[in-house]
Amino acid sequence: MQLHIRHETVYRYAEPVKRSVQNLRLTPRRDPIQRALNWTLQAPGRQHAQLDAHGNIVHLLIVNEPHREIRILVNGVVETAAAPHMALPNEGRLSPLAYLADTPLTQLDEPIAAFARRQLGDTGPSERFLLDLAHAVCEAVHYEKGATAVDESAAGAFARGKGVCQDQAHVFIACCRAVGIPVRYVSGYLHADRQAEVESHAWVDAWLGHESGWMSIDVTHRERAGPAHCRLAVGRDYLDAGPVRGVRRGGGLEELRVTVNVATSAQQQ
Amino acid sequence: MVETRAYDEMHGTAGDVREHYRAFADWLANTPRDRLTQKRAEADSLFHRVGITFAVYGEEAGTERLIPFDIVPRIIPAQEWRQLAAGVRQRVRALNAFIADIYHEQEILAAGRVPPEQVLCNQAYRPEMQGIDVPGGIYAHIAGIDVVRAGRGEFYVLEDNLRVPSGVSYMLEDRRMMMRLFPELFARHSIAPVEHYPDLLLENLRSVAPAGLTDPTVVLLTPGANNSAYFEHAFLAQQMGIELVEGQDLFVDDEYLYMRTTQGPQRVDVIYRRIDDDFLDPLVFRPDSLLGVPGLLAAYRAGRVTIANAIGTGVADDKSIYPYVPEMVRFYLGEEPLLANVPTYVLRRKPDLEYTLANLAELVVKEVHGAGGYGMLVGPAATREQLTAFRARILSAPERYIAQPTLALSSCPTFVESGLAPRHIDLRPFVLSGRDITLVPGGLTRVALRAGSLVVNSSQGGGTKDTWVLE
Amino acid sequence: MLSRTADHLYWMSRYIERAENLARMLEVNYRMSLLPHDAQIVERGWAATLTIIGLLDAFRHRYQTVTPANAIAFMAFDRDNPGSIYSCLRQARENARAVRGTLTSETWEMLNSTWLEMRVTALRPGDEIANFFEWVKDRSHLARGVVQGTMLCDEAWHFIWLGTFLERADSTSRILDVKYHLLLPHGEQAGGSADYYQWSALLHSVSAFEIYRRVYRDLITPRRVAELLVLRDDMPRSLRSCVSRVYGHLTAVRNAQSGETERRAGELQASLHFGRIEDIFALGLHEYLVQFLGRIRDLGERVARDFLVSATD
């Protein structure tokens, strides 16, 4: 499938920002199951591209002059695999074991650990287990926008019982780690058939061993990720892999507006 | 395996004075008590004036206390020091090789010599560092290796400190103090100097700057005046003649690091940082940190700045990795370790856990992620209630603990209320790794001031002594 | 040196100088209020001072009426008023503490003990407020003496003096304006005995009374007072002396971007060097002082931007 993506992120500030430094993960990963054609990134200030330890393409964006708005626009075409994603081999520098450790956002607590152990039961890690777990996580954490903040932890979302795809992914990740399955947070785009405008999406890669590799599971949709998914970045959690992460001096109240248009070649605008 | 008879630094088993202490013992015998008392009071007031204080955690905010200084030096004869230094050097070489290996090929893990989860799931492991090349392959530029002497005088390594080891300012100030109070002692002994440490350190830091720079700029990054070790930060920066900076003084631009000066932005090439990994870059580590520099890791990754000690060294000084250090010496250097570890039980392992619980009253149990003597059980000194409580803590999370037999740490005569009495000591030599590996002779001797206590940490009431290596 | 260090040194000295000048301003009013006056005139004098230093609104939030007691409590001892003498001395000490390593121990100890004494005094302000004002001036003299006598004449030293003289120029022009703008138009007969006492109070407050006598040997006239305090090179608190020092220190620390700031300071210095009192009075002294204050404020902002920690960092 060919996805035509246009993603605009606009930050507006009540007062001038003196200086801002951001890490942008807005460039599709070089994974075996996708290929980016004509991908461009437009942003103010100066950008430097690097490859981080997870193999993500990261742009360091520095805006030195006082500003009240930052507008980041990415645009391009991504060719994705034709079928549900095959399991990915472990490429890059990090061992899968590096994705077994806790992070503050995915920290285990007793309720999640117990929940995860119940799901695992007698069967070992497998695709079936992962899909069942996704199902169980969505039942335990209902999809609801606005219920959680962007810095909500897995434990918090689990206790609340609702959240967005990011929260469901975090809870899924905490569960996998509780039973010893290395798992990565995946940030990217999802093209849903009927809508041309959707938000960025989050799902996971779970490690099933050297023979099987990384299996991509869309927790929110309780299925394997496939041609409609475009991968931007992976990491241990949202902080590692999220599209924009930065700090600023000044600015006061921040207003964020994100518009994502994802279309296939047939629907291209 | 409890050793009851402590090795006394000054006296042999028959009570005679050891040869390297004879000149000192002689001087002590011939010096009137009042003079000693007066000199001790002088030391107190001088230290106060200079402001060597240590804000102690857990007390009322901002209380500053002097770290007590004892005027009886810890003396080490040249030959013993040479052996100890060789062992420490070897160990630091192996540790640096380990860290480099973990962040590159991970050959020691592939060879099955260290369990991979111990390293890769360790909270101190920094995936961000995987694959990053650092100048000279040196990660722990400054190492503090804590060493103790046991029963028959043999040295053991108690702990490695590879993140932000501290205490060298006390080593330097103690020497300065002794030379000022007792110049006659220095005339009588041939004591290896330590004053050149700041020069050695600066030279070392400059030698690991990014390649191609003729006059690299080095800075010392401090969390600020509210940090308990701030005195040392300011002291070392001043001694080395480098700027003492805080995060807000630095910024990244075009992947280079700069500091804000009155003459405009000035490039910074080497950071001697006294801030933990977690606070160094809010874009990568803790997002709420105001102590670091956003974009620092990007500059580091691009090879534009050297950070000393490198990010991620904690993966080698963790208590759960400590039992494997002798393996590292064998694996990377093909040598037998010159210095031994204290025998250690890793409670993650069932047999070790069983042994420990069965012998709790004779062991010292430490938290794997603890620091500074907190969260520790000293079996022989614990009450029944304390033992029971600790047993429960261990059982709730055995992977968090290691246990070691109580070593009878060596003791050294120390001035206490009743006069001179033996008190337990340890030693922290400071090892600098750059082009070469260098040590100043001696290091920081810490002394437990309470009778029988084995806890030497200054944060829990320990003191220091000057350390003399005789030439 | 680090911009942050220079910033602390600069503000340390500005706050000490500000405290001293506040004491001087309050002293003028205090002396004037000792003369036989009606309450309205006394009140006007205090309100004028509050206006000149920009604190009248803040004052009215706390107090209903302007009385000597209220005004002094507010401008000298009030902890919540960031512009009080109390707050200025606290800020001076805090800034010094941040850069303790850069100061000589004498300098630090002097500022620290000043602050400790201020805290004690503030707890129970004595009856003799005049003594307090003297004390503040003394401590300020001492601070300058200790800096001049013990510190190396390096960049740190230059930034300390830069702060001192910018602040002094600012404060002196305000002290002058209090009298001119707010008091003169209200029917005081020039040359009357009340007028004489007001002018001499003002001259005393800038330690210029004896100097005036020496230079002019004659009646006190507004024109001559203005000339002394604005244009005379040999009067250490004159605007001309202050700006001359500012310019000198600026050239000593110049960097790649301070050229324009240096030019403006030089331009101001030249206008004072070649200025004539007739031209100033033709414009109107108050108007002149308002302009001058604006230029000093502009220089201060530019110094912060060029060298220190400023709004655009």
* pLDDT tens per residue, range A35-49: 998 899 999 988 999
**Exposure string over C168-200, b if 16+ CB within 10 A, otherwise e:** bbbbbbbbbbbbbbbbeeeeeeeeeeebebbbb
Interchain pair B302, A50: CB under 8 A = yes
User: What is the residue-wise DSSP string for B90-105?
Assistant: HHHHHHHHHHHHHTTT
Half-sphere exposure of B430 (CA within 13 A, CB side): 25
Answer yes or no: CATH 2.30.42.10 is held by domain A2-81+243-267. Answer: no
CA pair distance A262, A269, nearest whole angstrom: 10
Inform me whether the pLDDT recorded for C84 exceeds 80: yes
Residue pair B121/A101 in contact (Cβ under 8 Å)? The answer is yes
User: What is the residue-wise DSSP string for C283-294?
Assistant: H-HHHHHHHHHH
CA C270 to chain CA mean position, Å: 22
Average pLDDT, chain A: 89
Give me the residue spans of the domains in chain B.
1-124+139-193+318-342+407-471
Q: Which of B114, B278, B284 to mutate to test the interface with A (most CBs of A within 10 A)?
A: B284
> Is any Cβ of chain C less than 8 angstroms from the Cβ of A249?
yes
CA C228 to chain CA mean position, Å: 16
Q: How far is A63 from chain B, CA to nearest CA, in Å?
A: 9
Nearest to A22 by CA among A52, A1, A3, A43: A43
- Report residue A89 as tokens: 């081999």
Contacts of A18 in chain C (CB under 8 A): 311-313
Inform me whether the pLDDT recorded for C193 exceeds 60: no
β-strand partners of A37: A77
How far is residue C194 from each of residues C33, C66, C73, C189, C208, measured CA to CA in Å?
11, 21, 26, 8, 19
Residue pair B221/B243 in contact (Cβ under 8 Å)? The answer is no
**Residues whose CB falls within 8 Å of the CB of residue C70, separated by 6 or more in sequence, listed in order:** C59, C63
Band of pLDDT at residue C23, cut at 50, 70 and 90 = very high
Size of chain B, expressed as the number of residues it contains: 471
Give me the residue spans of the domains in chain A.
2-81+243-267, 96-189+196-240
β-strand partners of C148: none
* pLDDT tens per residue, range A21-31: 999 999 999 98
Residue B65: its pLDDT value, please? Answer: 62
Interchain pair C101, B244: CB under 8 A = yes
How far is residue A120 from each of residues A142, A179, C165, measured CA to CA in Å?
21, 8, 75
CA pair distance B276, A231, nearest whole angstrom: 33
Band of pLDDT at residue C143, cut at 50, 70 and 90 = very high
> Is any Cβ of chain B less than 8 angstroms from the Cβ of C37?
no
Residue pair A220/A162 in contact (Cβ under 8 Å)? The answer is no
Contacting partners of chain C (3+ CB pairs under 8 A): A, B
Helix, strand, or coil (residue C120): helix
CA pair distance B213, B205, nearest whole angstrom: 13
Residues lower than pLDDT 50 in chain B: 1-3, 54-63
Interchain pair B283, A22: CB under 8 A = yes
Residue B3: its pLDDT value, please? Answer: 44
> Is any Cβ of chain C less than 8 angstroms from the Cβ of A66?
yes
Band of pLDDT at residue C188, cut at 50, 70 and 90 = very low
Low-confidence winner among A67-76, A80-89, C64-73 (lowest mean pLDDT): A80-89
Helix, strand, or coil (residue C185): coil
Residue A133: its pLDDT value, please? Answer: 93
Residue pair A23/A92 in contact (Cβ under 8 Å)? The answer is no
Give me the percent of chain C exceeding a pLDDT of 90. 48
> Is any Cβ of chain B less than 8 angstroms from the Cβ of C129?
no
* pLDDT tens per residue, range B27-50: 999 999 899 999 999 888 877 766
**Residues whose CB falls within 8 Å of the CB of residue B40, separated by 6 or more in sequence, listed in order:** B71, B415
Low-confidence winner among A193-202, C132-141, C235-244 (lowest mean pLDDT): A193-202
Q: How far is C248 from chain B, CA to nearest CA, in Å?
A: 16
Residue C122: its pLDDT value, please? Answer: 72
Residue pair C93/C118 in contact (Cβ under 8 Å)? The answer is no
Q: How far is B293 from chain A, CA to nearest CA, in Å?
A: 10
Residue B251: its pLDDT value, please? Answer: 96
Better-scored residue on pLDDT, C212 or A267: C212
Residue pair B448/B466 in contact (Cβ under 8 Å)? The answer is no
Residue B230: its pLDDT value, please? Answer: 86
Inform me whether the pLDDT recorded for C190 exceeds 90: no
Residue B315: its pLDDT value, please? Answer: 95
Band of pLDDT at residue C294, cut at 50, 70 and 90 = very high
Residue B380: its pLDDT value, please? Answer: 86
Residue pair B332/B104 in contact (Cβ under 8 Å)? The answer is no
Interchain pair C2, B248: CB under 8 A = no
CA pair distance B229, B225, nearest whole angstrom: 9
Band of pLDDT at residue C194, cut at 50, 70 and 90 = low
Residue C309: its pLDDT value, please? Answer: 83
Q: Which of A145-149, A190-194, A211-215, C36-40 has the highest mean pLDDT?
A: A211-215
Mean pLDDT (whole number) for C187-211: 71
Residue C184: its pLDDT value, please? Answer: 56
- Report residue A44 as tokens: 């103010």
Residue B399: its pLDDT value, please? Answer: 84
Inform me whether the pLDDT recorded for C192 exceeds 70: no
Interchain pair A249, C311: CB under 8 A = no
Residue type, C199: W
> Is any Cβ of chain C less than 8 angstroms from the Cβ of A18?
yes
Task: Sort residue B69 into left (φ over 0), alpha (ψ -120 to 50) or beta.
Answer: beta
Question: Residue B446 belongs to what H/E stretch?
Answer: strand B444-447
Better-scored residue on pLDDT, A35 or C105: A35
Closest residue of chain B to A182, computed from CA coordinates: B121
Interchain pair B264, C256: CB under 8 A = yes
Give me the percent of chain C exceeding a pLDDT of 70. 91
Record: fold of A96-189+196-240: C8orf32 fold (3.10.620)
Inform me whether the pLDDT recorded for C191 exceeds 70: no
Residue B63: its pLDDT value, please? Answer: 46
